[in-house]
Chain A
């Protein structure tokens, strides 16, 4: 085609050269074309050459042949299970995926190869499910991931522990992420070496690098880290100084924390059955350890910071109050919500499990049931650490409130016990029958989670009856549809669990 292209692009008006030869059998035909009809001859010759080239197309040599996948070691799940699983990859049913993945792994089954692309694409966008997916992708999934960098989360080479020399080389020559990984790895295996290595480079690293490295100290932190933390407390960067203070909170026996606790004791005083909160009388250069505080700080700042830093058991011991009593005393203050949240933070930091239940009980009653608070991180973490029965019992006041049941769903997304599931469904059916309960988005957002959370023994109960008000309003129809969608999800779960047994 190149032969004719020049004439065709420039135009016969400007390029009056004769029809070029193609050095093919076609030339015997093209020479017969009328020379006086330049345009027509060019078109016919080009058309003939196009068909000639099409007929004589020579295939290129194949690029390097790809390696072949290793044989599978797991059995493939049945076609029915695969079909159900495929349905769950759809956004409307993806709340069912964690349970399905768990069941597949427990049954030592893998997904069929035809479903791998959809599954890998889904998991690549849902990081929280990646480890569960890894177990069901089989050898083929592992093999496939080597060809696409976006799927590198699948292919984790099984390697032995790195040697000291390898770690040193990475620490000396690696990029920031690799060096951070070395420190994290060493904090688990050999915390002293990790600290020594960090100490040796502390002065020469940039502030943002120091900050990231400092974060690794939280694992296996001990009094041996005190010197490095003291150095960090004197850092030019306020963020690093604040981080160091937070890390000191894990070391209540250090002099720094002892001084903080002494200061805290001068703020929170319990006398004659009453807790008083005043500005500190014992300052003892405390602002050196808590950069956010100074002599000019307000009472609110002092009290919140102290509650965040001091381990909760200290209050039990020092004030001779139970967790519940201390919380009740704090609750008499106008700033109670902020104070209790600071205490929650500290309870989580120090894993003071006996504080979880009273903190949650008070917060659910006085914060969640009275406000529309959106952030649940602390609550979820506290609830997750409690036994199932205790966590569910704490949430009952939310379940039993028609405007707050959705918070219970968000805080404890399942799986639920049989008793709690029964109670939840019956309560929902009651709300469903109330015309006034018209929080449409709440039903749309939360019913799929309910469908995935309820105990399998309650599937039948969930079928109804769902009696709605005898009114043909659009919102009644809408809610009816929402329940239908939930029942469809429960049916999907039923079928999946039945098939995988």
Chain B
């Protein structure tokens, strides 16, 4: 910082939390990012020593905040279970959701009766109004699914088939909710969450499955929440448990995400997964060690068929799942110059289409050679997260 003031920059390498005394509105600021990069790229440059007072004060403050949140969570849990009023409120909500679902089923039936051919000319308010009704019915999960339908008409040549598939899945979900008692407890939990019954973080800590593993931070995908903000899904892979999880964050009104995850690194940590049939969403309980760059082969499968078999297996446990973490070894990016389309090919000669954007960076890094690949499969296309080349994970 030539000619400018000195700032007090501090980072916690276990959680990537940062604080800096500079006036930047960007979080993390460039000074914090610089320090993080330096710590990751040249750890030898640092010597261990007594933290200065201003770092101690910050760490103590963070520890106190965390403890306070845990205490609050446990109090919250105790009070909700023992509170009659809460139980009444739950019943009331149950009734509201039920009415909402009945109304949604009528709406779906009307759509089928009139035919999807009429949908093409409908204004976006058609979907928004129905989504708003689901919000009023406190079924936010259904509302989100209806909002997503808004983007389908006319977006592709096969939009009618896509719309019918999504409407069908929506109908299956309301049907499953109506017959909740026939599902096993884990699936019941999953269905309730898909409808919109939220499980708050304290409850996740209390009831969710806790897993301690060495987690790879493989990639992130961001999605717009239809002018309401954005969500970010950070995919993790547990190297010992060989399972995937994701951390979901939301940001509203242009704000930054509160947590920053180190893509291309791994860390020993304990997570708690949301209860459910195929629980993938998780939150960090404790991040136990400092992060290290990923430098070994990615723990993936060798063929696209093996990956798709795993997708099928996941769908048997949670049929409404839309996104799947894909880790494939020895895969090659392919550009079809005639069709101007991108694919990821495996050693057996099969391929999956990549998202319809350019993937030149991936091609440049791979040089046409097979590489280890990580990405997200949405049933139609693969969204690349990163590739491992020469023991270096390149985030794409």
Contact = CB atoms under 8 A, between A and B. Distances in A.
A binds B: yes
Interface of A: 1-2, 4-5, 7-14, 38-40, 42-51, 53-69, 79, 113-114, 116-117, 140, 143-144, 147-148, 463-464, 466, 483-484, 487-488, 490-491
B312 A55 contact: yes
A60 B369 contact: no
A79 B112 contact: no
A54 B318 CA distance: 12
A484 B42 CA distance: 28
Given A40-B105, A59-B308, A147 B335 contact: yes
B172 A47 contact: yes
A40 B160 contact: no
Nearest to A146: B337
Contacts of A50: 164-166, 168-169
Given A56-B312, A484-B3, A488-B2, A113 B365 contact: yes
Specify which of B113, B165, B332, B361 lies most central, judged by the most chain A CB atoms within 10 Å of its CB.
B165
A49 B315 CA distance: 13
A177 to B, nearest CB: 23
A404 B14 CA distance: 55
18 contacts: A1-B164, A2-B161, A8-B160, A9-B115, A12-B112, A39-B112, A43-B112, A44-B171, A44-B172, A44-B175, A50-B166, A53-B165, A55-B311, A55-B315, A57-B308, A63-B336, A65-B332, A66-B363
A9 B160 contact: yes
Contact of A114 (B117, B336, B364): B364
B363 A11 contact: no
Contacts of B352: 59
Given A1-B164, A60-B351, A51 B367 contact: no
A11, A12, A45, A143 interface centre (most CB from chain B within 10 Å)? A11
Contacts of B304: 59
B367 A143 contact: yes
A13 B367 contact: no
A148 B363 CA distance: 12
A62 B343 contact: yes
Contacts of B343: 62-63
Contact of A46 (B167, B175, B335, B361): B167
A61 B311 contact: no
Contacts of A64: 334, 336
B168 A46 contact: yes
A63 B2 CA distance: 53
Nearest to B324: A54
Nearest to A37: B109
Interface in B324-368: 332-337, 339, 341, 343, 345-346, 349-353, 360-361, 363-365, 367-368
Contact of B161 (A1, A55, A490): A1
A117 B171 contact: no
Nearest to A57: B308
B394 interface: yes
Query: Which of A62, A143, A490 has the most B CB atoms < 10 Å from its CB?
Result: A62
A47 B168 contact: yes
B368 A66 contact: yes
A61 B305 CA distance: 12
Given A147-B337, A487-B3, A39 B168 contact: no
A48 B394 CA distance: 38
Contacts of B308: 57-59
Contacts of B361: 114, 116-117
A483 B360 CA distance: 37
Interface in B92-128: 105, 108-118
A114 B168 contact: no
A366 to B, nearest CB: 39
Contacts of B110: 39
A10 B117 contact: yes
Interface of B: 2-4, 41, 105, 108-118, 160-161, 164-172, 175, 304-305, 308, 311-312, 315-316, 319-320, 332-337, 339, 341, 343, 345-346, 349-353, 360-361, 363-365, 367-369, 379, 389, 394
A324 B240 CA distance: 85
Contact of A4 (B164, B170, B175, B394): B164
Given A11-B117, A48-B168, A55 B316 contact: yes
Nearest to B336: A63
Given A5-B164, A62-B334, A65-B334, A11 B351 contact: no
Given A11-B115, A55-B312, A59-B351, A144 B168 contact: no
A116 B367 CA distance: 11
A201 to B, nearest CB: 37
Contacts of B364: 113-114, 116-117, 140, 144
A484 B333 CA distance: 44
Given A114-B361, A143-B368, A66 B168 contact: no
A14 B105 CA distance: 20
Contacts of B170: 43, 47
B113 A13 contact: yes
B351 A46 contact: no
Contacts of A143: 367-368
A87 to B, nearest CB: 11
A40 B312 contact: no
Contact of A79 (B41, B161, B353): B41
Residue from B316, B339, B353, B361 with most neighbouring chain A CB atoms (10 Å)? B361
Residue from the set A54, A144, A463 with the largest chain B CB neighbour count within 10 Å: A54
Contacts of B172: 43-44, 47-48, 51
Contact of B311 (A12, A44, A57): A57
B350 A69 contact: no
Contacts of A11: 112-118
Nearest to A118: B361
A484 B165 CA distance: 57
A463 B3 contact: yes
A47 B350 contact: no
A68 B367 CA distance: 6
Nearest to A68: B368
Given A10-B117, A69-B367, A47 B332 contact: no
A47 B343 CA distance: 28
B169 A66 contact: no
Contact of A60 (B113, B160, B161, B350): B350
Given A47-B169, A463-B3, A147 B116 contact: no
Nearest to B322: A54
Contacts of B105: 40
A8 B164 contact: yes
Nearest to B365: A113
Contacts of B168: 43-50
B108 A39 contact: yes
Given A68-B367, A114-B361, A114-B364, A40 B118 contact: no
A66 to B, nearest CB: 5
A404 B209 CA distance: 72
A12 B305 CA distance: 38
Nearest to B163: A8
